[in-house]
Amino acid sequence: MASNPPSQTIAPSSLPEQWDLVLRPKTGWFDLHLSDLWRYRDLTMLFVWRDFVAQYKQTILGPLWHIIQPLFTTLLFTLVFGRVAKLPTDDLPPMLFYMAGITCWNYFAECLNRSSGTFINNASIFGKVYFPRLCVPVSIVISNIIKFAIQFALFLAMMGFYYAKGEPIRLNSLILLTPVLVLIMAALGLGVGIIVSALTIRYRDLQVLITFGVQLLMYVTPVIYPISMVSEKYRWLVLANPMSAIVETFRYAFLGAGTFDPFNLLYSAVVTLVILFVGIVLFNHVERTFMDTV
């Protein structure tokens, strides 16, 4: 009767090693490792919570500032541009016209301004532990959606008030494009912001210029005036700004005023994708050596 062969044991040292994460150097411009963003999604949400808490810590009114700021800005625009300058508003109440533009513009500008300081403001964290650096600007874009939602609710409340008064407000099916418009604004703000953030490593003057530049850019966007009042000679300059088609589409979808051109919106989407791609590539390239220059 044959006996069973003795069992063999494998020494622990001969077992293949299993690793949850392997860190490799980024060797090329297009070595982006974007999949790490999903792997570190929990960290991104922690950054979102950090931004939200830090923004309202030791404040009396807290999130109410997101209502007060656009409301006072709308009142100021109504007084200066509506009453004094008498700019047209496409037969809409000036308060409602300006609130629509401010709601869109504030989200884009906030994403751009805050993400543009990613490397400078987070150098102490970046120098201590590894994680995908893009988590920080992405968390800024996500946390700003909360602010956008509050201001959007204020806009809807104001729209309902004027509709009850009998103002010519015409909702249409283009309101279904709202998530697409928000996504384009987020991507555009993120793309421009991380480009500026990458460049400020060597050119600190951009930190001073970015806030001033965003304010000037607003005047090349139909926030305080309709695109219809711009002469044909200079209209291309306004439409070259990707935010112009977004603001016009938003205003047309919810108020039925202004114009909607699908080609202009497609142009904005394409330009946004190009800017975002360039921004991610440049951001990842600078990420490798920024601690030597920051």
What pLDDT digit, counting tens, does each position of 239-288 carry?
Answer: 999 999 999 999 999 998 888 899 999 999 999 999 999 999 888 888 76
The tokens describing 290, both together, are 């920024």
pLDDT value at 1 more than 80: no
Q: Please say whether the beta carbons of 192 and 273 come within 8 A.
A: no
The tokens describing 147, both together, are 């602010």
Which run of H or of E encompasses 132? Answer: none
| Count of C-beta atoms within a 10 Å radius of residue 184 | 24
pLDDT tens for each residue of 96-146: 999 999 999 999 999 999 888 887 777 777 777 777 888 889 999 998 998
Please report which confidence band the pLDDT of residue 26 belongs to, taking 50, 70 and 90 as the band edges: low
pLDDT of residue 257: 83
pLDDT of residue 191: 93
Q: Please say whether the beta carbons of 87 and 229 come within 8 A.
A: yes
Question: 193 to each of 9, 107, 130, how far by Cα in Å?
Answer: 57, 13, 22
Q: Which amino acid is at 138?
A: V
Per-residue pLDDT, averaged over 182-202, amounts to: 91
What 3-state DSSP class applies to 90?
Answer: coil
- CA atoms of 149 and 63, how far apart (whole Å): 11
CB burial of 101-137 (b: ≥16 within 10 Å; e: otherwise) equals bbbbbbbbbbbbbbbbbbbeebeeebeeeebbbbbbb
- CA atoms of 152 and 119, how far apart (whole Å): 30
Mean pLDDT across the chain, nearest whole number? 83
pTM: 0.84
Per-residue pLDDT, averaged over 69-75, amounts to: 90
Return all residues near 225 (Cβ < 8 A) that are at least 6 apart.
81, 87, 88
pLDDT of residue 18: 63
Written as one string, the DSSP assignment of 35-83 is: HHHHHTHHHHHHHHHHHHHHHHTT-SSGGGHHHHHHHHHHHHHIIIIII
In this prediction, what percent of the chain has a pLDDT beyond 90? Answer: 39
- Per the document, the length of the chain is 294
* Per-residue DSSP letter, 176: G
pLDDT of residue 252: 93
- CA atoms of 140 and 79, how far apart (whole Å): 32
The tokens describing 233, both together, are 């000679």
pLDDT value at 228 more than 80: yes
